[in-house]
Structure 1
Amino acid sequence: MLKYIGIGAAVVAAGAGGAYFYFTQRSQSTKGILGVASVIPQEAQVVMAFNTKSEPWNKLAQFGTPASQKLIGESITKSPLNSLLVQSKTEYSRDVQPWLVGYIVTALIPNPTQPQAPTATLVIAPTSDRTKSDAFLTKYRGALAQQGAKFTSKQYKDVTYYESPTRDPNNSVVTADIGGQFVAIATSSTLIRQVIDTYKGSNPSLAKKPIFAKIFGDTNQTKIVEPLLQVYLDGDVALEFIGSQANLSLNEAAIAQSKRELDAMTLTGGTQKEGLRFEINTYLKNDNSNPLANNDAKVLNLLPQETFLLVSGVNLYQSWQSLVSQAKGNASSAQLIEQIRKAVKDSTKLDLDQDILKWMNGEFAIAAIPNNQGILANPGFGFVAIAQASDQNAAKAALDKIDKVAQSNSGGLLPKAVELKPKKIGDKSVIAWAIGNTNVASRGTLDNNFVFWSMGDLADTFVPKPVNNLPESSSFKILTTDIPKSNGGYFYLNMTTALSLADRLLPPEVKSNPSFTEIRAVLDAINGIAVTSTNVDARTTRLDFLFTLKPTPGN
């Protein structure tokens, strides 16, 4: 199992710290990420490239509430990166800015001769002024020497580097000037020698790796102008790395499958006028034999403009089959799938695969809509599920069976012992599930072979067809600005409406909790979130995220 160390070693964190939050005055080098990658060993598994232009970073100050901006400022001040800049007695504007140019890159790189050892960390940046960057490294080593570091000058292939041991026996502090073109700081002398070999051409570079060159070369497919951050994860470690950062326990079968199928993953982040934009791309080693088609979602036209939460997609049956296939050989996943099947069978007497999902190979959506009528008066909203049926007879048979189960049900997943009441909404006939004089749910058919099931009297808001649908609403247009309209599905959340509903539902003791107030300060800065999934080609899938943010006062 690979071991990852945080970028917390003094030298690395201090070097990266200036990059991460304090890039402010230099123009971008024409070398780009590939230029820096030309001296990074090809074994690099995790690569983070930071934009050093001031304009994209300055745009961050245009967003957020005063409370969220204060939290961000406090986080920066307390961060290890900022603390280590202070410890090393270096200042970005004075000691780094005058020579830094282009992208600064942090990479996690294993030792090829000791695969079980922790990965070493490299921070590397282009320099436009060797004299000034050398002065920075000298001052940096001097500050650490005052704190106990003991640097020794060493030579490797006519390149001088400086190394000091640290309290961690697995790491050292190593600095080097690479040919007067790059400043390198690392946690291993072995890694510095690899970098020197790569610079001199005797070791293959990351820039020459086909998938890396494809991602960051001329065909770079990012839609984000001036990205702040670009992250590359090698397919052999992507899932493990994500799991380690999120403290997730991943089973070996899932990791093995990821290594077999995944070539690389990337994350790109930046700003646009509405807020923060992110892209996550996955690159497969081979063509996807059964990809989901991109789609201009018609199901959205069936939802009213007040819809504040949406999850949509296409071909739910195919997605389920893919999950079932992937679960083979993975005992825990297979067990979970069987538990889901059993729960549906016990509650509805229906076979999940054959009776319910098999005819759901068109579009589908689950949405939340504000409503204060009937049983929805207290929560203030209800849910609707909509699916496009390829086989109307199969869909009708399944819904008829669910009706009968609901009539005789004694409680559980379905409401308890409902009465079926035909109901007319406009020119559409629906079936209401009633308990006494209260409708607890409705189900029926819509245009284009769509069927629906909704809570309470929610159907009144979208049957037979909403006067103003979701895609026509100004909120949806703003919250989905520039993300692909032809896609494999949406996640959409109007945060303003969601928080308003949360305020009426959450008890006072929760709302007054300090942890909640901090989270709320961040959420208050967000107008909405939109995510889409898109198949770019047979081997590439992209997730687009847009966090639409409130402008800071005065912007």
Structure 2
Amino acid sequence: QRDIQPWLGQEITAAVTTLDLDRDTDNGRQAGYLLAVATKDPERSREFLQLFWQKRALAGADLVFEQYKGVKLIYGSGKAVTEVGKDATRPTSSLASAVVGDRFVLFANHPKVLRDAINNVQAPDLNLSSATFYEQALGTLEQPRIGLSFVNVPRLTSWAAGVRDRPADAQPATAQPPAQLLTIALTLDQRGLAAETALLSPNDPPETVSPPLSKPVGALQYVPDFSPISASGSNLNQLWTGLSQQLKGYGAVAQLVDQSLAELQDRWKLDLRDDVFDWVTGEYALGLLPVASAQSSAKSVPAPADWVFVAQRSDPAASEGIARLDAIAQQQGLSVGSIQLGAQTVAAWTRLSTAAKPSSNPLALQAQVQGVHATVGNYELFTTSLAAMDQALKAMEHSLATNDRFQAAIDPLLQPNDGYLYLDWIASQSFLERQFPLLKVIKLAGKPIVDHIKSLAITSYGRQSGVQRGGVFIRLGGLGD
């Protein structure tokens, strides 16, 4: 506020410009960081830099003043160092700054980053703003925006996962784009932060595909309003096929998705891809139903959550798929039988066993429910317990589709769309952190913003001219509540 705000202009850009400054993975990776800040008062910004470097000189730093293509660079005289136990040397981080005319003040973690930035300005075919694929992505973003983010997804995921692959930074920005380039436009909403996304994959067909849904699917009427996590839409088979293709080559992300599926498959002893996704071509909804902590045998071991899955019986393949699930249950030694649950007849997959009891009859038959399904109208409901099925059957009175929190979470998103992924962040936080411990680190790093998140909703707007479009809304507490 004292040193920078008086001269800070209306524009600021931060970037990871390279994954490895010397493009030598044998000595480890040292990423290059660039910060470009617009100045509204060139004289005051120069005074700031002068005082900034004077303090470092007084503290004993050796400064280097370099004239590069008409721009004055200032940085510390960091030398390349040799890591202990290794023969290779790597560049050390050295804060550097430059003033470009009367418009921008640049900061970087190495003078090479500044030299590359100056080259990019003077050679238009090198900078991102001139890249054809960047202009193509921007052309599909329709909403007003206050900020823009551009992500090369393969490089970001490999960098985050620590994969030591060969850097491709030598290619100019206008070269043939690698797979998965994501552009995110940020918009302020009185209730939170909205984002419109454009994902460009060169292998996708250059066609326009319109999304089918103008409102939440009817399957959501069977998901109780207290469900903290839900996914809904139409044609689950098509969604999974497209997602599988997009995740190829992204080991870290694919592993996360496979882990989530593996836990459900292990619980239900199913191959979800072949036994479920294949026949769900109509509406679907998946919801998490938290189990009360009192049902847990110990507070340190939370009871497993219940799930409800709703699928539209849209064609004969659905009936065949449901019958196949009953057959798979029987092959696994489960009994498939009818149970009356209120006025509804449901099919239960149960495992029968004997349990010793201190009574005149020492052996008693015990049935452990592994899964339940029921036909209700044009939908088939699947749950992991009888209690969950009872909640799903009663959900029409208080369903997630009519819940005020859910409506507030999806209201800023555009229609038509392909459905919604919804997270009630407050209610689902503990569950997600148990499933994905990395979220605890992200939560800690994202304070205090994460503490104000109330919900998250994600959707897809189909494909326009070969660009996959989507939307995200993060609802924040204290804003328009």
Task: Give the TM-score taking structure 2 as reference length.
Answer: 0.69
Distance 1:462 1:164, change over 3 A: closer
How far has the Cα of 1:474 moved from its partner?
1.3
Q: Secondary structure at the match of 1:385?
A: strand
Instruction: Determine if contact 1:388/1:450 at 8 Å carries over to the other structure.
Output: yes
Distance 1:292 1:111, change over 3 A: closer
- Could you tell me the percent identity over the aligned residues? 22
How far has the Cα of 1:322 moved from its partner?
4.5
Distance 1:356 1:287, change over 3 A: closer
Paired letter, 2:289: I
Render the CA deviation track for 1:267-321: whole Å, top value 9, x for unaligned. Answer: 4456533234445432223544799862422322333334332123432323444
Paired letter, 1:458: A
Q: Which residue of 1 aligns with 2:416?
A: 486
State the alpha-carbon separation in 2 of the partners of residues 332 and 193 from structure 1.
33
Render the CA deviation track for 1:67-87: whole Å, top value 9, x for unaligned. Answer: xxxxxxxxxxxxxxxxxxxxx
Q: Secondary structure at the match of 2:396?
A: coil
Render the CA deviation track for 1:94-133: whole Å, top value 9, x for unaligned. Answer: 3322222121222333599965485543322222222222
State the alpha-carbon separation in 2 of the partners of residues 279 and 441 from structure 1.
39
State the alpha-carbon separation in 2 of the partners of residues 112 and 408 from structure 1.
54
1:253-272 paired onto structure 2 within 5 Å: 262=179, 264-269=181-186, 271-272=188-189
Render the CA deviation track for 1:442-490: whole Å, top value 9, x for unaligned. Answer: 3122334545445214333343871343222212112323123533332
Q: Which residue of 2 aligns with 1:68?
A: none
1:482-521 paired onto structure 2 within 5 Å: 482-498=412-428
1:134 aligns with 2:57: no
1:369 aligns with 2:277: no
Q: Which residue of 1 aligns with 2:311?
A: 387
1:235-274 paired onto structure 2 within 5 Å: 237-245=152-160, 247=162, 262=179, 264-269=181-186, 271-274=188-191
Q: Secondary structure at the match of 2:279?
A: coil
Distance 1:313 1:247, change over 3 A: farther
Paired letter, 1:103: E
1:226 aligns with 2:146: yes
State the alpha-carbon separation in 2 of the partners of residues 396 and 478 from structure 1.
36
The structure richer in strand per residue is: 2
State the alpha-carbon separation in 2 of the partners of residues 409 and 339 from structure 1.
22
Instruction: Determine if contact 1:470/1:476 at 8 Å carries over to the other structure.
Output: yes
Structure 1: segments with no counterpart, 5+ residues: 1-92, 253-258, 411-416, 508-512
Distance 1:328 1:441, change over 3 A: closer
1:21-100 paired onto structure 2 within 5 Å: 93-100=1-8
CA RMSD of aligned residues (A): 5.3
State the alpha-carbon separation in 2 of the partners of residues 386 and 146 from structure 1.
68
1:285 aligns with 2:202: yes
State the alpha-carbon separation in 2 of the partners of residues 166 and 138 from structure 1.
20
Render the CA deviation track for 1:114-172: whole Å, top value 9, x for unaligned. Answer: 65485543322222222222212211221221233323433344443334312554554
Match of 2:100 among 178, 195, 198: 178
Q: Secondary structure at the match of 1:530?
A: strand
Instruction: Determine if contact 2:133/2:177 at 8 Å carries over to the other structure.
Output: no
Distance 1:440 1:285, change over 3 A: closer
Moved more, 334-343 or 110-119: 334-343
The structure richer in helix per residue is: 1
Count matched residues.
Answer: 435
Paired letter, 2:150: Y
Instruction: Determine if contact 1:421/1:432 at 8 Å carries over to the other structure.
Output: no
Distance 1:320 1:492, change over 3 A: closer
State the alpha-carbon separation in 2 of the partners of residues 96 and 351 from structure 1.
57
Paired letter, 1:384: V
Task: Give the TM-score taking structure 1 as reference length.
Answer: 0.61
State the alpha-carbon separation in 1 of the partners of residues 416 and 327 from structure 2.
38
Distance 1:441 1:122, change over 3 A: closer
Q: Which residue of 2 aligns with 1:358?
A: 278
State the alpha-carbon separation in 2 of the partners of residues 544 and 162 from structure 1.
42
Structure 2: segments with no counterpart, 5+ residues: 81-90, 168-175, 353-365, 435-439
Q: Which residue of 1 aligns with 2:359?
A: none
1:76-225 paired onto structure 2 within 5 Å: 93-110=1-18, 115-116=23-24, 118=30, 120-166=32-78, 169-200=91-122, 204-215=126-137, 219=139, 221=141, 223=143, 225=145
Instruction: Determine if contact 2:268/2:371 at 8 Å carries over to the other structure.
Output: no
Render the CA deviation track for 1:385-409: whole Å, top value 9, x for unaligned. Answer: 12234433x4333433433554564
Paired letter, 2:45: S
